[in-house]
Structure 1
């Protein structure tokens, strides 16, 4: 009798525990090998229901938050380096590195314009030949006018003509050579006559050159080569050209677009003019005609090579690749 009473008591306690936490009992019993499929399904449903209730409670708490009562970003304490390291998530090990930006392609220089007097005509012909034969650049133009320069703009206005030809032709590179006709009296911008080579003349001529340089600098031209006068034979030019070359050189300094190329030393030896000079290949020949100012074809080739070499250095010109058979 006593054993039966003890069994009833134990059974009552077990049933009480089961019904007081049925979900826990089912989940525990479902993990045993004695549980039937139905009991396992019931335990799984209880687990899902519990998860849903927890999720609902979480979102209910979020909705109840008063965001207006939260401190503003400016009121929050500063985050130290150590704190940042603790809160920032680590970067994935397989994160891709940022792709470097591709370098901008440089538009090639394809159109070349030679501007100047009759001395430029001799030089321009040789430049055209070299650019086409060696660098495969056929689009060149020579704009020259005999007996002109930057002095007698009343006779020929190079400012207006240059602006016109640049707008029409749209060159990438301009090669300028003036000066052979400029050592004469000048009328400055105030309308006053200035005797050649005086300080007043030099100031007036400098104003002319600077005005022309500003015209080129503000144009669509990408690069300008201002060619200095080479050493002459006649004493008048021998005195004037160094002064004029210095004016050209100084005017080019105010623009990153304009580059002055000195040719004076190319036909000199011990500081004096020499009539016969060797070119790059070693071939010797006369460099000036009888007037001592204009080039022979040999002299034009030497100065042309000097200019072309500078263009190569500046990466204006690139030797075209040879075609493979």
Structure 2
């Protein structure tokens, strides 16, 4: 009696477990060797029914979603396509380049023949009074030039001047004594006004220009001869001026200043010319070459104005008028 009760209880528990989770029981029992084909088929059907139920639950949830409340596709696209702007790079502004300071021109050398003596004296006075330049040197030789180097060697003399005085600016004037026959560097005699003479004189001038170019002088003004009332000089001076001009073209520091028209009126020599202030006076003495003090002032002002334009000299300040007493 006791055994039958225990068997009944066990059977009840087993049946309760089977019916409470039949699908799990069938899956477990179908994998045992005691399961018949019918039992295995039943377990497979239960698995399929479970999968279908899960699938129906998924689509039911999808149907419950309110698609009208979702943000429009265009807005989503806008959000997605909004470009990411990288932070602006802080670029340093380039440092302003300071202008290179130009060393002032303080020492001035005036070189030439006796015509340069007249001009040099006037230039020294003008530069001291108007431009406060006091460090100047005038070196001249009467009856000299670049023709008769056997009489006076301007190459050797100028080298010594440049070495000893070390000028910033040199002003050169030759020609008044060079209107004569010449002996070229090959020792051949060349008659004035011939092509051979022009070539020989050009060689002399070029050699002097190279001497200046290779020196420490910073600027050279080669002064041309002005028009003359003497036919001899009126004939040769234009040729010689062209020679000086040609030499300056091959040098970065040499500048030719033409003075031909300074004493001219309508292309002809004018004995009386007005200076910058309007004062009129004779410009040359009777030999047709040397300047009067008035003529030297006109040429000197022309040279000084060119130096101001080239920033060699600073523009002179107008004198201050005295204050009136009350």
TM over 0.5: same fold? yes
Q: Which residue is equivalent to 1:243?
A: 239
- Does residue 265 of structure 1 match 2:266? no
The 5 Å alignment of 1:229-240 reads 229-240=225-236
Which of 1 and 2 has greater Rg? 2
1:305 aligns with 2:309: no
Residues 80-95 of structure 1 aligned to structure 2 (within 5 Å): 92-93=89-90
Structure 1 residues 277 and 224: CA distance shift in structure 2, 3 A: same
Deviation at 1:97, TM superposition (A): 2.2
The residue that corresponds to 1:174 in the other structure is 170
Q: For residues 92 and 322 of structure 1, what CA distance do their matches in structure 2 show?
A: 53
Out of 211, 215, 224, the residue aligned to residue 207 of structure 2 is 211
Residues 148-203 of structure 1: CA deviation (Å, up to 9, x unaligned): 00000011000010011011000000000000000111000000011111111110
SS at match of 2:240: helix
Partner of 2:218: 222
Aligned to 1:274: 270
Residue of structure 1 equivalent to 2:116: 120
Q: Which residue of 1 aligns with 2:128?
A: 132
C-alpha distance after superposition, 1:182-239 (max 9, x if no partner): 0111000000011111111110000000110111111101000000001112111111
Tell me the equivalent position of 2:189.
Answer: 193
Deviation at 1:323, TM superposition (A): 9.8
Name the SS for the 1:196 alignment partner. coil
**Separation in 2 of the partners of 1:316 and 1:264?**
23
- TM-fit CA distance, 1:98: 3.3
**Which structure 1 residue ranges, 5 or more long, are not aligned?**
1-88
1:98 is matched with which residue? 94
Distance apart, 1:143 and its partner CA: 0.7
Aligned-residue CA RMSD (Å): 1.9
> SS in structure 1 opposite 2:94?
coil
What's 1:285 paired with?
Answer: 281
Distance in 2, matches of 1:99 and 1:233, equals 60
Q: CA deviation at 1:101?
A: 2.4
| Structure-1 residue corresponding to 2:71 | none
User: In 2 relative to 1, CA 101–323 (structure 1 residues): closer, same or farther, beyond 3 Å?
Assistant: farther
| CA distance in structure 1 between the aligned counterparts of 2:166 and 2:222, rounded to whole angstroms | 18
Structure 1 residue 322, shift from structure 2 partner: 7.6
| TM-score of the pair, normalised by structure 1 | 0.70
